[in-house]
Structure formats: C-alpha cells, structure tokens
Amino acid sequence: METKLRARVAVAGAGAIGSAVALTLARAGFDVTLFDPAPPGDNASGVAAGMLAPLAEAVFDPVSTPHLALLRRARDLWPAFAEGLDLEILRDGLRIEGEAGWLAGVAARLEALGAPFQRLDGVLIDAEDWRIEARPALAALRTTFEALGGAFETRAFIPDDRPAFRAVVLATGAADASGLAPELKILSPIKGQILRADRGPATGPVIRGEGVYIAPGDSPAIGATMEAGRDDLTVDPSATQGLRAAAIRLRPELAGAVMTTEVGVRAATPDGLPLVGWSATPGVMLAVGARRNGWLLAPLVADLVAAYLKGDNPGPDAASLDARRFSRT
Ligand SMILES: Cc1cc2nc3c(=O)[nH]c(=O)nc-3n(C[C@H](O)[C@H](O)[C@H](O)COP(=O)(O)OP(=O)(O)OC[C@H]3O[C@@H](n4cnc5c(N)ncnc54)[C@H](O)[C@@H]3O)c2cc1C
C-alpha cells in the first residue's frame, strides 16, 4: 500500500528547477517520475551561465534588488544540496571592471545594499557570488536522482497522466502549461542569447563590465540578452553584437575568439520571483517562473515543494513565492 512518504509524484520538466525538485523529493523518500520530452540540457537551464550570484543580481538587475536577502538564503542552501553530487561549486566571486564613472555608480549601489566588497587597483571585488557549470550540473542531478530509484520518461507530461500520481509538480519553464494550472497565465517570456567563446578566461571570478558578464570556463560564457516578450529561439547576431564588443573591451584577447550563440527562454512573473506551491487545480503544484535566477533558486524551490508535499512548515520565503499571489481575488 502507498504510504505518505512513498507517494507517487510526477515532476514535469527536467530543467534546473524540475531536476532539483525531483532529486530533493527522491531524497525525501517519494516515488518520483520526472518527465521531459527534450534532450538533456536543451532548455534555458542548459544554456545558463550557472551563476549563483545574489549580489551581482541585486546590483545589476533592478527587479532583483529587493530580493537580495532571499537570494542569499537560496545560495546558502547550495552546499548541502550539492553534497554527494558530482558537482563543484566554484567560489571565485565577482570582479567588476570598467570606466571610472560607471564603476563609482556600481560602488555606490553596493554600499547602499550594505554589501561587502573591496576596491583593488581600480576594480571592485566581491567574494560572495558563486557559480556552477550548468550542463554538467543537470547531468549530476539526473544521475543522482536515478541512483536513488527515480524514474525518467522522455516525453511530455499530459493531463491524462494525472490520475496515476498523488501530485504533479509543474516545472515546465516558459512552456505554455496553463491548461494544467491557470496561475501560469501570469508568466511572460524573456528570451536570452548568450555567447560561448573558444578562448578566454578558463578559471577565476566572473567578470562584470558595463552591460556584460564573462563567466570563465572551457568555453567562457558572455551574456546575456534580456528580450522581454520574446519566446523564439532564433539566433540574432544584431542582438549580441553589443555583448561581444563589451566583452572584448574587458578582455581584448577575445577579439580573435570564435563565438557561438545559444538561446534560452526564461519565464518571469511581474515581481521576478517564481510561483511555488499548490495551484487552484487540485493535485497540481507549481515550481515555475524563476526568471534569470533558476539555478540560484533551485534548491530553495525544491525545499519548498518538498515541505508542501510533506505537510511541513515551508519556512520564511513561502509567502514571497506563493503560487497564487497573482491570481487570488
Ligand atoms: C542566457 C541565459 C543565462 C542565464 N544565466 C543564469 C545564471 O547564470 N544563473 C541562474 O540562476 N539562472 C540563469 N538563467 C535563468 C535560468 O536559466 C532559468 O531561470 C532556469 O533555467 C529556469 O529553469 P526551469 O527548470 O524553470 O526551466 P527550463 O530550464 O526552461 O526547463 C523547463 C523544462 O520543462 C520541459 N517541459 C515543458 N513542458 C513540459 C511538459 N508538459 N512535460 C514535461 N516537460 C516539459 C521543457 O522541455 C524544459 O526542458 C539564465 C537564462 C538564460 C536564458
């Protein structure tokens, strides 16, 4: 007989959020089936730069500024979440470089946030932002999930699947799944194009300049566009030429680099935070709308989903992420 902790749960979507949810539920003893029709990493999570960057987000993205404390709590869940995974958290921090006037404005914003940072030779340095490599991270989450007995189905979750499960968690990203939960109608797409260079910094801090970041790696990531209202995956060089030029100003050796473009679509709510919790549709739980912080927020979202399914106290961030906050009348 099905016990509470062996309840069958479906998770729709194997991006950062769905994969983290599936793993956390499997660790908690649920009988989890993860659905996704797309090849691994063929989603926004796969193209992401993998920054776990509360401070950079709060400083450079006005929508995220009010959420700094929540974003920091999310980051702080990562070490325990990553334990036992074949996944390294890179803790090289952030290096902000640029023209003196612009840098002075950034320093003022950091000070206003009460954020600790250093000035060193005309550069601002912060140690608190972290990073992971996105596609290897997705693979690590999947491997550990399956090692714990989790099942994966390479297909879309459809309404006819509902009766086989106690609950379904929709982690469907920017896909239109509003037929399964009316709250998803509030989501809007933000297309993001990111460049991958065949040379450039392989290790070290994320470098931020005016209108651009460079995340080191084997193929350093140079990002990223924010194209509100767009949900197509078309590569558009005119949208990324500014990123390319800004990156070359920061690291002139990138001038000779071959850069390829990857595209993903973020799903966003009006306040920039995801929808997490029960839908008005019985048995449907939401874990969507993480905008530009899906990797950073993944362990927090997963913990909230697990708490709701277990009937535990979901903690201090539940109200801010309430799945029905835009749909209650
Ligand atoms: C260029 C770019 C750079 C970014 N950089 C960062 C970063 O540095 N740090 C950070 O934290 N975030 C970053 N983000 C944001 C982050 O990628 C997103 O917030 C995150 O990917 C959202 O994850 P998700 O699991 O909700 O959605 P997705 O990754 O979009 O995954 C959703 C999945 O659901 C599947 N799906 C859809 N419908 C169904 C269905 N019916 N059944 C089953 N599966 C279904 C899809 O196939 C897809 O695989 C970036 C985004 C972009 C585009």
- Report the atom number in ligand 1 closest to the C-alpha of 12: 43
Q: Whose CA is nearest to atom 47 of ligand 1?
A: 38
Q: On the CB side of 215, how many CA atoms lie within 13 Å of its CA?
A: 23
* Angle ∠(7,11,15) on CA atoms, nearest 5: 150
Which of the listed residues 193, 262, 295 should we mutate to test ligand 1's pocket, taking the one with most ligand atoms within 8 A of CB? 295
Q: Whose CA is nearest to atom 10 of ligand 1?
A: 293
The 3-state DSSP class for residue 18 equals helix
DSSP character string of 159-222: GGGGGGSSEEEE--TTS--TTT-GGGGG-EEEEEEEEEESSS--SS-EEEETTEEEE-SSS-EE
CA of 112 to the centre of ligand 1 (A): 31
β-strand partners of 249: none
294-310 vs 68-76: helix crossing angle, rounded to 10: 80
Q: Residue 4's pLDDT is what?
A: 47
List phi, psi (to 5°) of 312.
-85, 170
pLDDT tens digits, residue range 12-46? 999 999 999 999 999 999 999 999 999 999 999 99
pLDDT tens digits, residue range 153-212? 999 999 999 999 999 999 999 999 989 999 999 999 999 999 999 999 999 999 999 999
- Report the atom number in ligand 1 closest to the C-alpha of 190: 53
CA of 108 to the centre of ligand 1 (A): 32
Kindly list the strands in the beta sheet with 31-35, ordered across the sheet, starting from the edge strand earlier in the chain.
151-153, 31-35, 8-12, 167-170, 284-288, 275-278
CA of 272 to the centre of ligand 1 (A): 14
* Angle ∠(310,316,317) on CA atoms, nearest 5: 85
Task: Single out the residue of 282, 310, 231, 226 nearest to residue 30, CA to CA.
Answer: 310
244-275: b or e for each residue (b if 16 or more CB lie within 10 Å)?
Answer: bebbbbbbeebeebebebbbbbbbbbeebbbb
Q: Residue 328's pLDDT is what?
A: 74
Task: Single out the residue of 260, 244, 257, 190 nearest to residue 212, CA to CA.
Answer: 244
User: Using CA atoms, how far apart are residues 254 and 248, in angstroms rounded to an integer?
Assistant: 5
Q: Whose CA is nearest to atom 14 of ligand 1?
A: 292
- Report the atom number in ligand 1 closest to the C-alpha of 293: 11
Contact between 81 and 26 under an 8 Å Cβ cutoff? The reply is no
CA of 177 to the centre of ligand 1 (A): 14
The 3-state DSSP class for residue 304 equals helix
How is residue 200 written in tokens?
């450039």
β-strand partners of 215: 221
Instruction: Specify the pairing of strand 221-223 against strand 212-215.
Output: antiparallel
What's the CATH number for 4-91+131-186+270-321? 3.50.50.60
Question: Does the beta carbon of 175 lie inside 6 Å of ligand 1?
Answer: yes
What's the CATH number for 188-268? 3.30.9.10
User: Using CA atoms, how far apart are residues 329 and 324, in angstroms rounded to an integer?
Assistant: 10
Domain extents for the chain?
4-91+131-186+270-321, 94-127, 188-268
- The 10 Å Cβ neighbour count of residue 62 is 10
Task: Single out the residue of 190, 173, 177, 291 nearest to residue 233, CA to CA.
Answer: 190
CA of 105 to the centre of ligand 1 (A): 32
Question: Does the beta carbon of 45 lie inside 6 Å of ligand 1?
Answer: yes
Q: Residue 329's pLDDT is what?
A: 56
pLDDT in 10s for each residue of the chain, 329 residues: 444 448 999 999 999 999 999 999 999 999 999 999 999 999 999 999 999 999 999 999 999 999 999 999 999 999 999 999 999 999 999 999 999 999 999 999 999 999 999 999 899 999 999 999 999 999 999 999 999 999 999 999 999 999 999 999 999 999 999 899 999 999 999 999 999 999 999 999 999 999 999 999 999 999 999 999 999 999 999 999 999 999 999 999 999 999 999 999 999 999 999 999 999 999 999 999 999 999 999 999 999 999 999 999 999 999 999 999 998 75
